Amino acid sequence: MADPGNGLAPDLRKRIEIMADHIARNGAEFETTVKQKNASNPQFAFLYNGEGAEYYQQVLAKHRGTQAPPVAPLRPPAPSPTPVVPAPVMPAPVMPAPAPAGQFSGMTAPMAMTAMANMAMPLASPPAASLATLLRGGQVQGAPPVELADVLRRWKEPQVLALTPEVERQLHGVIASLEHMASRDAIKSGRLWIECNSALAPHIASHIMRRVSFLVTCAHRLHVLYLVHDLLQTEAARKEPLFVTGVLMGVLRLVQLWVDRGILSAQEAEEVKAITMAKELPGVLSPQPQQVTAAAMRPGVPGPSQTMPPMAGAPRPAGAPCLAPYGAPMPPVPMLHGYQKQALAGLQQTGIQTPETVPVGVLASMIASVATPGRHVRYKPLDPAMTPQTLPPMEVPTPQLLAKVEEFYEDLQDEVNSSAASKGRFEEHLRFDTDDPFPQLFRTPQSPPSIPPVVVEALRRAMSKRAMPQALVFVTGNAKKLEEVKHILASGEEELPFEVTSQKVDLPELQGASTQEIAVQKCRLAAEHVKGPVMCEDTSLCYHALKGLPGPYIKWFLEKLGHEGLNKLLAGYEDKSAYAQCLFTLCAGPGKEVHVFDGRTEGKIVEARGPKDFGWDPVFEALEGEGKTFAEMTKEAKNAISHRGRALQQLRSWLIANAASFAEESK
Ligand SMILES: O=P(O)(O)OP(=O)(O)OP(=O)(O)OC[C@H]1O[C@@H](n2cnc3c(O)ncnc32)[C@H](O)[C@@H]1O
Ligand SMILES: [Mg+2]
C-alpha cells in the first residue's frame, strides 16, 4: 500500500507527526479541543480530513497501536458556544492536590489559587475537569454542579503571616516591578527572589494573595498572577508553551497547565474556573470602605488608590512592633472575594466601569462573551531559525513587465487627466502650497497619485540596468581606442544600460575575406577568452583608389610605412579619398551570436598634421572636419563625426532596446 505521507510537504508531515503524538498521549478530548481551535486554520486541515488526513490517521493509529480508520470527508467543526463535550479521559487526581515538589514547597496550591481567586473575583459552576471542558467553559457530562458556597467554605484564605520589614520591602519591590509590564526579566527576578526566600514561602504567599486584592489595575493583578504561574511552572520543572488566546482562555489554560503538572486536581481546577467566571459571590458581603482603608493602611500594604512606589516600604506607624513573629497571625484583613467595585475607593461614586475598575475575572468573562472564537491570534515571537535572514534574490524584470509598468503609469496619468475637471485643476493638485509643506497631491483623496515621468524614467533605467550582465568587457589592446570609447559612452545622451569594463588582450590580427569576417572572428576569440559578454572593435582605413586597401591591414601598413608611406601609396592616383571604418562587435558569450555595428567617416589622405599620438589621425582629413585632420580636432569634435562615434552609437541603441534579451543570453 502506498505511504499516504509520501508527497506531503516536509513541514506538513512534521506537523502531522507532532500533532498525532500529542493527541495519542493526551486523548480524545485534547483532539476535540485542538480541532475546535483550528477549525479555520488551513495548517491543520488534516484534522478535519483535509490534506494529510490519511497520513495523520495512520500515524495516530500507530501511536495508539490500532488500525487507522478510513478517512471520510468531514466538515471542520463550526465554532460553537455549546460544543459537544466528549467524555473526560484524564483521571482526576486525588484531593488535596500535592504541593509542587522542590524547595518552594511552602507555596501551596490552595494559597496560590486563593490569591488568584481574589484577583479574578468569584464564583460557581461544575466540578470535574479537563482541558476541553475548561476551555469550552462547559460542564462535564453527568457531573454535579459546583456549589459555590461549598467551594468557598473549603477554600479558606490562608492566614497572613508577618514578614520582616526588609523582606516586606523587597516583596513590595517585586510586585511594584510588575506594575506596568510583566516583562520576562521582572517575572524571572521576582521568582528568583521568592526562591531565595523559600523559608518564608507561606508568609510570602499570603502577602502576595492579600496585596493582589489591592492592586489598582487589573493588568497589575494579572502580572502578579503571571509571577505565581511562573513560580509554579518552574517548580513543576516542566516547560510547555501556552497556546490559548484571549484573557480568559489564558487564565483557564494556566489553570489547566497546573492540572497537567499535578499542581491542582481536575476538581480544584473546575472550582477555580467557577470562581473566576462568577459574577457574584453568594453570601460574601462587600467590605465597608473604612475597612478597606484600614486594611490598606496596614503596614506595608498599599491602599486601593495608592500606587506602589518601586522598592519602597510603606511607613510603619510609630510604636508599632517592627516584626510579628514568623507564623504569628496578623490582625484579620477584610474578605475581598467577589466583584466589589466598592473596594476601589474613590471610584464607586462614578458608577462608571473602566477596565481598571472591573476585576480580572469579570473583565475576562466580558471579553470571552464578546470575542468571536478564532478571532484572536496568539502572539508568537518569530523563530529566527525558521525565518529567512536574507531577502530572496531580485527577479530580473522582463521587458513585458517593464512595458506593463509603463502602461500602468500611463493609464494612471490618463485617469488623472480625465478625472480632473480641467487641466488647471489637475495642475493644482501638483502645486505646492507655500503655507503647506505638503503638496496638494498627497492630500486630495480623489486624485490618484501622479508619478512624474522623470521618476518613471529613472525607475525604468534602474530596472533595466539591473537586468544587465554585471559587466560588458571591451576587449582591446589599444589604449587610445579605449580612451575614445569611454569618452563617447560618458558623453552620450542615453546611458548605456550596463557597466563597461575593459580588458587588454592582444588578440591575433586575423586575415579574412572581408573586414566584417575579421571582426566577427576577433569577437568570438575575445568571448572565449573572457568567458562572458564582450565587445570588440576593428578599425580599417580604406582608400577608394586602392579598392578598399589597406583596409583591415592598416595597422601593418602604418607600422611599416608611417604617415609618409601612407601618403606615398596614393602617389600615382588622383583620387586621394578614403574612408575610416569602425566595426563594433558584440557577443553575449562563448559560442553566442556576434552582432556587428558599422560606422564610417568619409575623408581624404593628407600630409600629416597635428599630434601624432594616435594611429593615422594626422593623415586623415574628414569631409565634415572643416579642413582639419582627426589629429587636429578636439576629442569631442572627432567623436561626433568619427567612424568610432557612429558605430558606438548604433551599438548603444541596440543594447538599450535589447537589454533584457542580451542579459538573458549572457547567462
Ligand atoms: O586590440 P585592438 O582593438 O585590435 O587594437 P589595435 O591597435 O590592434 O587596432 P586594430 O586592430 O583595429 O588596428 C587599427 C589600426 O588603426 C589605428 N587606429 C584605430 N583607430 C584609429 C583612429 O580613430 N584614428 C587613428 N588611428 C586609429 C590603430 O592604432 C591601429 O594601428
Ligand atoms: Mg588589432
Question: pLDDT digit string (tens) for 286-332?
Answer: 333 333 322 232 233 333 333 222 222 233 233 332 222 233 333 33
Residue nearest to atom 31 of ligand 1 (CA): 555
H or E stretch at 13: helix 10-26
Radius of gyration of the chain measured on its C-alpha atoms: 44
Instruction: Name which residue sits closest to atom 21 of ligand 1, judged by CA.
Output: 615
pLDDT-derived band at 204, boundaries 50, 70, 90 = confident
Q: Between residues 98 and 614, which one has the greater pLDDT? A: 614
Calculate ∠ Cα 608-609-615, nearest 5°: 60
- Angstrom CA distances, 244 to 241, 254, 290, 376, 382, stand at 9, 9, 40, 9, 17
Q: Are 554 and 540 in contact (CB under 8 A)?
A: yes
Q: What local confidence, expressed as pLDDT, does residue 409 receive?
A: 66
Other CB atoms within a 10 A radius of the CB of residue 157 amount to 21
Supply the pTM of this predicted model. Answer: 0.39
**Start-to-end Cα distance in the chain:** 45
ipTM for the whole predicted complex goes beyond 0.95: yes
Q: Calculate how far, in angstroms, residue 555's C-alpha sits from the geometric centre of ligand 1.
A: 6
- Report the C-alpha gap between 366 and 24 in whole angstroms: 34
**Which of the four pLDDT bands, split at 50, 70 and 90, describes residue 157?**
low
What secondary structure letter does DSSP report for 629? Answer: B
Q: Counting every residue, how long is the chain?
A: 667
Binding site membership of 644 for ligand 1 (Cβ less than 6 Å):
yes
The answer on whether 538 is annotated among ligand-binding residues is yes
Mean predicted confidence (pLDDT) in 545-563: 94
Burial of 191 per CB tally in 10 Å (0-12, 13-18, 19+): buried
Per DSSP, helices labelled H in 65-183 are 109-120, 131-136, 148-154, 165-176
**Residue 181 is placed in which grid cell?**
509590564
Looking at ligand 1, which atom is closest to the CA of residue 644?
A: 23
DSSP 267-286: HHHHHHHHHHH-S--TT-PP
Residue 541: beta bridge partners? Answer: 551, 580
Q: Give one DSSP letter per residue of 158-221, joined into a string.
A: PPPBP--HHHHHHHHHHHHTTSS---HHHHHHHHHHHHHTGGGHHHHHHHHHHHHHH-SSHHHH
Whether 554 is in the pocket of ligand 1, judged by its Cβ within 6 Å, is yes
Predicted confidence (pLDDT) per residue in 345-400, tens digit: 343 444 444 444 444 555 555 555 555 455 444 555 555 565 555 555 555 666 77
Element housing 517 (H / E) = helix 515-530
Q: Which ligand is nearest to the CA of 478?
A: 1
Neighbours of 256 (CB within 10 A): 25
pLDDT digits (tens, 9 = 90+) for 16-25: 888 888 888 7
Bigger pLDDT: 208 vs 42: 208
State the amino acid at position 109 in one-letter form: A
Q: Is the dihedral of CA 431, 433, 438, 443 positive or negative?
A: negative
Q: Is the CB of 630 under 6 A from ligand 1?
A: yes
Bridge partners, 534 (sequence order): 473, 587
* Measured torsion, CA atoms of residues 492, 666, 477, 594, in degrees rounded to the nearest 10: -90
Is the pLDDT confidence value at 550 over 60? yes
Is 610 marked as a binding-site residue?
no
490 Cβ contact partners less than 8 Å away, ≥ 6 residues apart: none
User: Hey, which residues does 252 pair with through a beta bridge?
Assistant: none
DSSP label at 231? Answer: H
Number of the ligand closest to the Cα of 639: 1
Q: Which residues of 139-156 are buried (b: 16+ CB within 10 A; e: fewer)?
A: bbeeeeebebeebbeebe
Helices (H) and strands (E) counted in the chain, each on its own, are: 23, 7
Nearest CA to ligand 1 atom 15: 555
pLDDT of residue 429: 38
Alpha carbon nearest to ligand 1 atom 24, residue: 617
Q: Is the separation of the CB atoms in 92 and 143 below 8 Å?
A: no
Give residue 554's pLDDT band: very low, low, confident or very high (50, 70, 90).
very high
- CB within 8 A of 379, min separation 6: which ones? none
| Whether residue 631 has its Cβ less than 6 Å from ligand 1 | no
Task: Quote the ligand 2 centre to 565 CA distance (angstroms).
Answer: 20
> Three-state DSSP class for 287?
coil
Q: Which amino acid is at 101?
A: A
DSSP string, 338-363: S--GGGSTTTTTT----TTTS-HHHH
Residue nearest atom 3 in ligand 1 by C-alpha distance: 476
Q: Is 582 helix (H, G, I), strand (E, B) or coil?
A: strand
Q: How would residue 608 be classed by pLDDT, with cut points 50, 70 and 90?
A: very high
**Does the CB atom of residue 420 touch ligand 1 within 6 A?**
no
Please say whether the dihedral angle defined by the alpha carbons of residues 179, 264, 34 and 387, taken in this order, is positive or negative: positive
Residue 536 has pLDDT above 60, yes or no: yes
Please list, in sequence order, all residues whose beta carbon lies within 8 angstroms of the beta carbon of residue 68, skipping any fewer than 6 positions away: 54, 57, 58, 60, 61
Checking if the pLDDT of 107 tops 80, the result is no
Q: Whose CA is nearest to atom 7 of ligand 1?
A: 478
Q: Is 479 annotated as a binding residue?
A: yes
- Grade residue 13 by pLDDT with cuts at 50, 70 and 90: confident
Query: Stretch 498-522: mean pLDDT, rounded?
Result: 85
- Smallest Cα–Cα separation from 39: which of 372, 376, 373? 373
Question: Ligand 2: distance of its center to the CA of 538 in Å?
Answer: 7
User: Measured on CA atoms in the order 436, 440, 446, 449, is the torsion positive or negative?
Assistant: negative
Query: Which of 555, 557, 558, 620 has most ligand 1 atoms within 8 Å of CB, for mutation?
Result: 555
Domains (range + CATH), the chain: 10-64 (1.10.10.790), 109-245 (no CATH), 249-302+309-315+322-371 (no CATH), 399-467 (no CATH), 472-665 (3.90.950.10)
